[in-house]
Amino acid sequence: MSDKVKVAVLVSGGGTNLQALIDKEKSGELAESKIVRVIASKDTAYALQRAADAGIETSVAKTQEEVLRQLEECGAELVVLAGYMSVLAPEVIEKFRNRIINIHPSLIPKYCGKGFYGMRVHRAVIEAGEKESGATVHFVDEGVDTGKIILQETVPVMEGDSPEDLAARVLETEHRILAEGLNKVVLRYKQGGIK
């Protein structure tokens, strides 16, 4: 693990995005990085079980001071928000400037920002009669879903889709592009491209 970039993953929910990263790390698709810690905003997050099953160190951080302390404690070089529902404190963002990435279930800048998360996103997309939606991997800055876009992929909205149908289709894309986006950032970080 010596030269692998250390990654911490922040979670709050079921952890399917985390599971995708774990699976791709195992299959060798994430060859230059290693998840060293999964930090949950609450102890009921099933993502913690997924991490434990994969032999990854876990912890719970209920305050942003705790998030910062635990990120430093595990030596994280990059941070991935995978279904993380708390707002990161400016101190955390400053400390990890341009080294935090997030996955959002829409084509940013559409259907993002305050109040647009989870099923609310897909409901709004369908109510607006959109023919396509998608997922976006982006850097995290002080805004909500406002950081520089790393990767984006469209997903079709089908006739008669329920928000749940669309959520499931978008989630499949999230799982794929989160790993691709992390790989891109890991390689840029290794080349010294992220200061």
Give catalytic status of residue 122 as yes or no: no
Contact segment (CB under 6 A) with ligand GRF among 10-18, 33-41, 86-94, 137-145 equals 10-18
Tell me if 173 contacts ligand GRF by CB under 6 A.
no
**Site residues (CB under 6 A) for ligand GRF, limited to 46-105:** 47, 82-83, 103, 105
Binding residues with ligand GRF: total (CB under 6 A): 13
Smallest separation (angstroms) from ligand GRF to the CB of 163: 11
Single out the residue of 7, 9, 15, 30 in contact with ligand GRF (rule: CB under 6 A): 15
Q: Select which of 104, 122, 138, 175 is catalytic.
A: 104
Single out the residue of 6, 16, 66, 89 in contact with ligand GRF (rule: CB under 6 A): 16
**C-alpha 63: how far from its chain's center?**
19
In this complex, which beta carbon is closest to ligand GRF, that of residue 83 or of residue 181? 83
Strands 33-40 and 58-60: parallel
Q: Which stretches of the chain bind ligand GRF, using CB under 6 A?
A: 13-18, 47, 82-83, 103, 105, 118, 174
Task: List the catalytic residues.
Answer: 104
